[in-house]
Amino acid sequence: MKKYLKVSDEIGQALFDKKPIVALESTIISHGMPFPENIETAQELEQIVRDRGVIPATIAILNGEIVVGLNAEQMHYLAKNEVKKASRMDLPYIISKDQNASTTVAATMICAQMAGIEVFVTGGIGGVHRGAEYSFDISADLQELAKTDMTVICAGAKAILDLEKTMEYLETNGVLTLGYQTDYLPAFYSRESPIELAYRVDSAEEIANIIRAKKALTLSGSILVANPIPAEFSLSYNEMNTLINLAIEKAKELGIRGKELTPYLLDSIQKMTNKTSLYANIELIKNNAKLGGDIARILSNI
C-alpha cells in the first residue's frame, strides 16, 4: 500500500503525534463547484479546520498516487483542469494507469482509513437516485458507509436524491445516522425534510462519546452525522424539489446518467437559482467543517 499512498509531511507528523485530523474530499473542487468558487471554498474549509486546532487533509489521486494532504499547487491543478472522478471501483484502474482523479465520498473514506484518519467532512452524501426502482442507480457511497469505519459529517444526502429510499438503505445496512441539533434529516440546501431521524445529538461531545462506544464494541461501518445548513442560508424544501424535478426531466431527455448525472443536476440547479444554491452549498459545507473539526479535536483529547 505504501507504494500508492503518499501522505504529506504535515499529515504524517500529525499522525505520529496523534494530533486531530479531518479528511476533506476533492470532488467538490473538480466536479462540485465552478472556478473560482471551488478553490476558494476548498482553501476556506482547510482554514476553518485549522482554526479549531485540527489538521486538514484534502485527498485526491495524482499521477497514480493517493495523496493525503494536498498542497496549494495540487489543489489549484484540480480546480482548473479536467480530471476523472474516482469511487471505490475506479481506484485500481486509475492508480495503475498513473492517472489523476478527485475522490468521491466513498473513495475519500477508503483513502482516509488507509492513512489512519477517523473523521471526514463532506457536503452531502450520495444515495438512492429518484427512479432507482427502474434504473437501479444507487451511489456507492451507501455501501461504503455500511462497511468502512469513519465518522462522516454531512448536510444529509444531496437533495437531488430520493431521501426516503436513501434512509431506508442506511437503516437496513446498520449505518447509525445522527441528527445534529435536529430531529429531521437535512435535505442539503434545506434544513429539514419530512423524514424523521431515530436519534438526535446536541453537542460534539455527545458525538465523540458515541464514536468511542462504537469503537469499543468493534462494530464496523460508519457513523453519519447529519448537520443542517445554517438557517440564514436554508432554501425552501418545496421550491427546491420543484426545480430538482425539472432538472431530472431535462437530464432524461439528454440521456445523462451514471457519474455524469449528479454534476449535471447540481450545475442545472445553480443556473436555475441564479447561483443561490451554489452559495447554499458553500455555506453548508463550511458549517460541516466547523462541526467536523470540533469532533476530531474532542476525540483526540479522549
Task: Establish whether 158 is a catalytic residue.
Answer: yes
DSSP 216-276: HTT--S-EEEE-PPPGGGPPPHHHHHHHHHHHHHHHHHHT--GGGHHHHHHHHHHHHTTTH
Residue 156 contacts residue 163 (beta carbons within 8 Å): yes
Catalytic position from the list 6, 85, 158, 290: 158
Catalytic position from the list 6, 25, 192, 286: 25
Angstrom distance (rounded) from CA 229 to CA 180 = 11
Please choose, from the candidates 121, 122, 126, 162, the residue with its C-alpha nearest in 3D space to the C-alpha of residue 146.
126
Distance of CA 100 to the CA centre of its chain: 19
Give the DSSP H or E segment for 13.
helix 9-16
- Angle 163-172/140-147 helices, nearest 10 degrees? 30
Backbone angles phi, psi at 154, to 5 degrees: -145, 175
Angstrom distance (rounded) from CA 181 to CA 126 = 22
Task: Establish whether 65 is a catalytic residue.
Answer: no
Give the DSSP H or E segment for 56.
strand 55-62
- Residue 274: count of CB within 10 angstroms of its CB: 9
Residue 1 contacts residue 66 (beta carbons within 8 Å): no
List for the chain the helix, strand, coil content (%; round to 5): 50, 20, 30
Strands 55-62 and 65-68: antiparallel
Active site residues per annotation: 25, 158
